[in-house]
Amino acid sequence: MSTSNEKLLIDIGSTYFKVSTNASIEQHFRDFNKQILDDLIHKCGDTVHRFEASDIHICSSANGGLSTLIIGLTHSYSLKYASNIAFNSGINIIQSIVFQNIEDYSIPSDVIDVVIIVGGIDSNGGLFDQRLSDYIAKLDYSNVVYVGNSQDAAAIASQVERLVVLPNIIDDRLHIVEQHLKEYLTNLYQQDIEGKEDIKHLYQITGNQIYPTPYVVNKSLPLIHSSFSVTEPFILLDIGGATTDVHYSKDLVSDNIVTEQGHDRIVFKKLGVYKSRQSLIFTAENNEFAYELLMHLKVTENIYTEYSEKATRILMQLAIFLVLCKMSHYRPTYVTLNLLAINSIVFTGGITKVLEAEDIEDVVAFFYRKILNSDHKPVTVLDTNYDIWTLGAREHATCQ
């Protein structure tokens, strides 16, 4: 058995899994004909068996996170606060709705993992009406949670089945209260991981809770300076097979919500080069500059239908470009970062195994030139040995 404080850290991705001990880190391509546990034991059984269940820590990003639709009273408070909490819990926002105009919004066709309803301070009430339950009745959703003013809770609960009611995320001074909703969403995320993709079999080898990978990576950010020379403010892009996570310093966002963390993150659920390849290509086809980028990289759109090492490299480069677009004013999503202010971009995940520093710098420079009309050149840092994940996982394991 291992020495008492040595930990075995395992990360299950949609495409690869990696296994890290104090001495080494191994990475394996997943065999999709096998269950994860069998595949893991087959490839790393000797290592796994050296450890006690209590010393094995597992995280997973294999299922790409949850999605939410938020219904709130206003942009500046309810929707902004709920969105902020959702990002920090690793949840993708597919739509935000201002309640007073609810009948103008379309009904998303996707299944929504959780609907969040929010609005009003507790001394205000009577803010929602029949239109709320009418809209919700048309949605295809798995969970629904109310985090608005306390006066309206009972009325909404009587109209919306299985409504979970939590304390208001807006306090009496109009400030944000994160704790309860964040806990609820993080738990949902966890249940989702446990329930899906035969992840639950992994509980046979670990005595610890299995956490979402982005959560673990986020833990490492305050410690990043111990392993890399990174200058604040920075962003970290984790481009993987199914999703892309962006972690960023808080100072890059110009809203003034005060929260505890110095770094937020958002997850782009369908932007990956393997499992989400089709939606990546779809996003590229709808970006007028992607074509120019392909020309710049000296390939044509035929690359989308090719399955080769070269095609994977190009898709990775496209993914970098598209994510930067999504974070900029050019294609605003939920968060717009001040990308001209960043000093470093850190890359981690599968991308570091495929691209060289020059390939990445080339795309980053293209983005700044084309989209932001600037020669700004943040330093790119490649985490080729999964140090960031190891740092976060080790920190997390020690805290548990």
Partner 1 sequence: MKVVTGVIGNDIHVVANRLMDLSLNARGYEVFNLGVNTFLEEFFDAAVETGAEILLISSLNGEAEGWSREVKILKSKYKTLDRLIMMIGGNLTVGSGNARDIVPRYKNYGFDLVCHQVDLNTGLDMLEDYIKEHRQP
Q: Which residues bind partner 1 (CB under 8 A)?
A: 73-78, 100, 119-121, 123-125, 127, 170, 173-174
Instruction: Supply the DSSP string of 313-327, one letter for each residue.
Output: HHHHHHHHHHHHHHH
> How many separate helices (H) and strands (E) can be counted in the chain?
12, 15
* Distance from C-alpha of 388 to C-alpha of 394, rounded to nearest angstrom: 10
- Nearest approach in angstroms of CB 170 to partner 1 is 6
Q: What residues are paired with 96 via a beta bridge?
A: 70
Nearer to partner 1, 31 or 255 (CB): 255
- Nearest approach in angstroms of CB 119 to partner 1 is 7
How many Å is the Cα radius of gyration of the chain?
Answer: 22
* Distance from C-alpha of 382 to C-alpha of 400, rounded to nearest angstrom: 28
Q: What are the structure tokens assigned to 276, written together?
A: 């989400």
Nearer to partner 1, 126 or 195 (CB): 126
Nearer to partner 1, 20 or 168 (CB): 168
- Nearest approach in angstroms of CB 232 to partner 1 is 24
- C-alpha distances out from residue 205 to 9, 20, 201, 261, Å: 12, 15, 8, 32
- Nearest approach in angstroms of CB 96 to partner 1 is 13
- Nearest approach in angstroms of CB 344 to partner 1 is 29
Residue length, the chain? 400
- Nearest approach in angstroms of CB 165 to partner 1 is 18
* Distance from C-alpha of 42 to C-alpha of 193, rounded to nearest angstrom: 22
Nearer to partner 1, 124 or 338 (CB): 124
Nearer to partner 1, 73 or 91 (CB): 73
Nearer to partner 1, 111 or 174 (CB): 174
What is the 8-class DSSP label of residue 24? Answer: -
Nearer to partner 1, 22 or 100 (CB): 100
* Distance from C-alpha of 153 to C-alpha of 168, rounded to nearest angstrom: 10
* Angular region, 65: left φ>0, alpha ψ -120 to 50, beta rest: left
Nearer to partner 1, 100 or 398 (CB): 100
Tokens 């446990």 sit at which residue? 194
Q: What are the structure tokens assigned to 373, written together?
A: 């009309």
- Nearest approach in angstroms of CB 373 to partner 1 is 25
- Nearest approach in angstroms of CB 174 to partner 1 is 5
- Nearest approach in angstroms of CB 149 to partner 1 is 9
> Do 249 and 233 form a contact (C-beta atoms < 8 A)?
yes
- Nearest approach in angstroms of CB 104 to partner 1 is 12
Nearer to partner 1, 43 or 80 (CB): 80
E-strand stretches of the chain: 8-12, 16-20, 25-29, 56-60, 66-72, 91-98, 112-118, 141-146, 163-165, 211-212, 234-239, 244-249, 263-268, 344-348, 379-382
Q: Over the range 292-324, which residues count as b (16 or more CB within 10 Å of their CB) and which as e?
A: ebbebbebeeebbeeeeeebbbbbbbbbbbbbb
Q: How many CA atoms lie within 13 A of 378 on its CB side?
A: 28
Nearer to partner 1, 118 or 297 (CB): 118
